[in-house]
Structure 1
Amino acid sequence: MRRLGLIGLALLIAGAGWAGWHRFGPRPPAPPMAPEATRIDHILIEKSARRLTATLDGAVVMKADIALGFAPDGNKEIEGDGKTPVGLFRIDRRNPNSAFHLSLGIDYPQPDDIKRARQQGTDPGGDIFIHGQPNGVAGFTLPGDWTLGCIALSNAEMAQLWTLTETGTTVEIRP
């Protein structure tokens, strides 16, 4: 009986060690951080992870949790579908006076989106922005996916991204 107790204890310790190694063990090296950068050249939006990563020459300058459109799965196809588009875009406009705390417009729809929508007899939608919280919601970040297809950050994160981002910056949106 004592032997079974010792075997059980050994298995418990081995399992805890494996779980600790699995959770806290070696990880691939993180990209280098460049927190003192004054600009970025790439914004990566990972929809499934609800994460924005801004980089300069591959070095991470900032990361932020994001909210997406109210129906985020899949690619944007028509106006009002609540989806955030997937693809490679550029920042094509800046709006300091938007209905949200600052906004950076992306050049959606692309020619292929317009062509597809025309073939389907639909409107591909547009006015996709990276922006902060709605004006008048100071000090609070809305929970969940609540936009109409845009990418939303906290106001503080949006202010940081605004100062780092120039018109023409690449925006990659992945599923």
Structure 2
Amino acid sequence: MRYIALIFVLVLFSSPIFAKVDLVKVDKSDNKMYLLNNGKVIKEYQVAFGRNPKGHKEQEGDQKTPEGSYTLDYKKEDSSFYRAMHISYPNVQDNQNAKSKGFSAGGFIMVHGQRNWLGWFSSITQKYNWTNGCIALTNSEMDEFMDLVEIGTEIYIEW
């Protein structure tokens, strides 16, 4: 009996779901987000973006999700979109590019769940790009994401 319990514990804790996420990779062209550990995908999500997802976010209100390497730098438990984790956009380069064109780079880009009180609608909303430039998951996926991804994890977003 002891051996069965030991085998169960070893199998349970060697599962990829318990692996530390060291990179969140986002493929905007395929509406996918991947959680990786040492280059191996441990979780995949179907995600929604801003209404105008192609290309890098350049200014506030352009409905684009940024592209490039950023950091997930804090969690927000009192979000208007269930729960959220902030993406470190804009960086210095983003701000300089926007300033040179005479506008604001925008900000407050998050990985988040569904709008509060509308989580039940996610089977429809997740089929469309509906955010203002953020990355949306279902609420249950957001719970899992918040459990698996630590503050300080890199997020790489590409088309």
Question: Would you say same fold, with TM above 0.5?
Answer: yes
What is the TM-score normalised by the length of structure 2? 0.86
Aligned to 2:156: 172
Shift of 1:36: 2.6
Q: Residues 93-108 of structure 1 correspond to what in structure 2 (within 5 A)?
A: 93-108=74-89
SS at match of 1:48: helix
> Residue 165 of structure 1: CA displacement?
1.0
How do 1:1-175 and structure 2 match up within 5 A? 35-141=16-122, 142=125, 143-175=127-159
**d(CA) in 2 for partners of 1:44 and 1:101?**
22
Aligned residue pair count: 143
Task: Please tell me whether Structure 1 or Structure 2 has the larger radius of gyration of its CA atoms.
Answer: 1
Provide, for residues 65-103 of structure 1, a one-character-per-residue CA deviation record: whole Å limited to 9, x for no partner.
000001111110010000000000001110011001210
Question: TM-score by structure 1 length?
Answer: 0.78
Question: Cα RMSD over matched residues?
Answer: 1.4
Amino acid at match of 1:144: Y
Higher-RCO chain (CA-CA 8 Å, sequence separation at least 6):
2
Identity across the alignment (%): 36
- Residues 116-158 of structure 1: CA deviation (Å, up to 9, x unaligned): 1111110001000001111101322113000000000111111
CA-to-aligned-CA distance 1:18-47 (integer Å, 9 cap, x gap):
xxxxxxxxxxxxxxxx53325311100000
User: Please, which runs of 5 or more residues in structure 1 have no aligned partner?
Assistant: 1-33
- The AA in structure 1 aligned to 2:45 is A
